[in-house]
Amino acid sequence: MLIAAAGGIVFDEHRRLLLVLRSLPPAALTWSVPGGKCEPGESPAAACVREVGEETGLAVEVIRWAGRVHRPAPGGSQFVIDDFLCGVVGGTLRAGDDAAEAGWFDLAAMTGLPLAAGLLEALTDWDLLPA
C-alpha cells in the first residue's frame, strides 16, 4: 500500500536547514525535515504546510516542489513523500507534535547528526544542501 506524505525544506536567512528530531517511528531518534502523512483529501502541499507548523511552530508557504522519495512504511507499505521548498512567513520556532527537538543546521553541523535514511542524498540530488 502507498501512503502519501509530505515534507518541508526550509532555510533561514543564513541558509541553515530546518530539521526536527523525530520522537516516534518511523525514523525515531533521527533528524529530518519536518513532515508527515497527508490527511484524507489533503494535497501534499497543504500537508507540508500543516506538518511544518505542527512540528516547528513556524508558518510557511510553499515556494516550489523539490522532489519525491519513497521510504519503507510499517506493515510492508511504502511512504511516497513529496518534498517542497518553503519560506517562513511567521511563527516562533519550537518543537511540537512528534518532534522532540527542532533547530537550524548548516551542512557541517547537519552531517554530524544521526540523519533519516536518504535525507542527505535527496538534498544533494535536488541541489538543496544548507550552507
Query: Catalytic residue numbers?
Result: 101
Rounded distance, CA 39 to CA 5, Å?
Answer: 9
Residue 112: CB partners within 8 Å, gap ≥ 6? none
CA distances from 130 to 19, 23, 90, 109 (A): 11, 23, 21, 10
CA distances from 94 to 38, 41, 119, 128 (A): 22, 28, 22, 23
Nearest to residue 86, comparing CAs of 21, 10, 24, 17? 10
